Structure 1
């Protein structure tokens, strides 16, 4: 949602809210930390079991690529229809040729330093996600000591590169060594601490930590706005200014969740549904906002266009999740889900 309002602020009117919501780009930092947490937590019992690798990689492929391909092809179709009937296409952030279409489909990294983007612009983050999935595979395929050796080398290389900013000229290598990868490690650390200290810390300490993290986040938000970094997508300080608060917030949230009785509050269910639909909302919101902005043009004031853009993006994303993403994902994982239940029961220490 932070990324959504950030893009709405940028596309509709950069001066709206004095650019305050553009800092919502830090939702990407939250996404990276959370991804590290989830991938470690969900696949914890697969670590050191090479026989589970096929299942792991199939699940990761099914989660990312099929629905992404559908949305990419639909975006292309909309672009060409607009080109035919209006003379002006939808995609203005990349040259629509065979090479770039193939690069987008397979999530090959783009050069964000020159404002290059995939057909679905936000997909640049998925290139990092794929790299992290591959590197996490080492924990499954290799012995713990060997895999930790290679991962430690990777972490050190990322830290060195963040200090000296080496540019290899290779887009894939630049992603592998990008400082953003440290946020995945933060997420893994959060999952590790969660498994080790679950239910051991008292609620008042967790609430104090959560409050401290929210204050850090607010300070970082103000700093980013004041320092003029709100339009810099790859600013390396984000790992510290936003990555650390999100690390604490995610860890405290899951630890507190263990201590709070489950309930069926409608508001909670709404947020859960938005979370379930977040991938579809994330992948389609940029195009939805762009189309709404094209359609409404200068007919309404910026605030109204912004509001309509945000609401429309949420509705479209939720509908696509309900009728396309969810059925497709269930169909792709129908048999693997049954396998997972048996495997997890056999591998669980309990």
Structure 2
């Protein structure tokens, strides 16, 4: 089954994060339009987490447990590393260059930060060398737990859900000093669980079109109102519910309505990982240009266009080529 609309949602989420970081470009005197539209754009990250949870459950639902469990887990980890690591490492080293700080990362505190970044371990500094890598720390931890869950075979989802729910409860009551334990017990991990639950539900149940339409409209409207700060959400669980319903809306487009989706938007989803990680470099490259007034709008669109071009190049010449090469070499 092709999940074209879920792929489109990937692209939308990556663009939201991009617009969140570019929003000051369209903050005009007396009208902070960028903040009005994209102040909550970082909401795209938990959307990614739900999608990740869904995809992991979706792609492993027919896994053959008659084979050796250790072999299955090794194959799972190989594929995740091949997918995430090459581009992230490349752009992490690229992020060390601006400001002439490259060699500062090879001794002392800089080396400590670099090692933790490459191992997807959080530090007290909050952000890794490539600051967007903080979300990949959560992703890789989720993959670690998901891989271990394969030991439990058919009971694996009980293990995953139980683990993340218990650790989130622990994090609610205890404030850990360790950055790693704070990540392990963070409520953001529950978004992965929601994605898994969606995969299991949609695989077993058929949703009537009238209910799917109602849920979809509600999810999109509520998400838009949160994005525009029309309804402020301070409660983490309410935020989780609204974002989850929004993702579920796009899943109904695939499962219930079977929309084919626009090819351009699907491609945006294909390059979403490159777009997400590379867009800060476009901001750095264009930072020297001072644009004010109504020229800010075309300049903002120019930035977005440049991001898409850069991401497309990285997708074709790094993601696809390196991924295919490593799959052959590592037999994944």
TM-score (normalised: structure 2): 0.81
For 1:43 and 1:52, the matched residues in 2 are separated by: 10
Partners of 2:258 and 2:219 lie apart in 1 by 23
Deviation at 1:149, TM superposition (A): 4.8
CA distance in 1 between counterparts of 2:64 and 2:171 reads 28
Structure 1 equivalent of residue 203 of structure 2: 195
- 2:179, 2:34 → 1: CA distance? 34
Contact persistence 1:36–1:187 (CA under 8 A): yes
Moved more, 7-16 or 65-74: 7-16
Task: Tell me by how many angstroms 1:330 deviates.
Answer: 1.4
Change (3 A) 1:9 1:252: closer
Contact 1:11 1:289 in 2 (8 A): no
In structure 2, what is the Cα distance between the partners aligned to 1:261 and 1:44? Answer: 21
Once residues 269 and 156 of structure 2 are traced to their aligned partners in structure 1, the CA distance between those partners, rounded to angstroms, is 36
- Summarize the Cα distance change of 1:146–1:66 in structure 2 as closer, same or farther, 3 Å threshold: closer
**Unpaired runs of at least 5, structure 2:** 1-14
Q: 1:297: which partner in 2?
A: 290
Please tell me whether the aligned partners of residues 220 and 249 of structure 2 are also in contact (alpha carbons under 8 angstroms): no
For the 8 Å contact 1:216–1:245, the answer to whether it is kept is yes
Alpha-carbon deviation of 1:136? Answer: 1.0
1:214–1:240 Cα change, 3 Å: same
2:10 alignment counterpart: none
Give unmatched runs, 5+ long, in structure 1: 230-234, 340-350
The counterpart of 2:254, out of the listed 247, 251, 257, is 257
Corresponding position of 1:40: 57
What residue number does 1:171 align with?
179
Given candidates 294, 307, 311, the residue that maps to 1:313 is 307
Q: Which residue in the other structure is 1:161 paired with?
A: 171
User: Given the alignment, which residue of 265, 274, 280 partners 1:286?
Assistant: 280
> Counterparts in 2 of 1:1-350, with a 5 A limit?
1-10=15-24, 13=27, 16-17=32-33, 19-20=35-36, 21-46=38-63, 50=69, 51-80=71-100, 97-111=110-124, 116-145=126-155, 148-149=158-159, 151-162=161-172, 164=173, 166-197=174-205, 200-222=206-228, 224=229, 227=232, 237-241=235-239, 243-260=240-257, 268-293=262-287, 295-297=288-290, 302-334=296-328
Aligned residues: 309
Q: Specify the SS of the correspondent of 1:121.
A: coil
TM-score (norm 1): 0.77
User: What secondary structure sits across from 1:296 in the alignment?
Assistant: coil
* Superposition CA RMSD, Å: 3.2
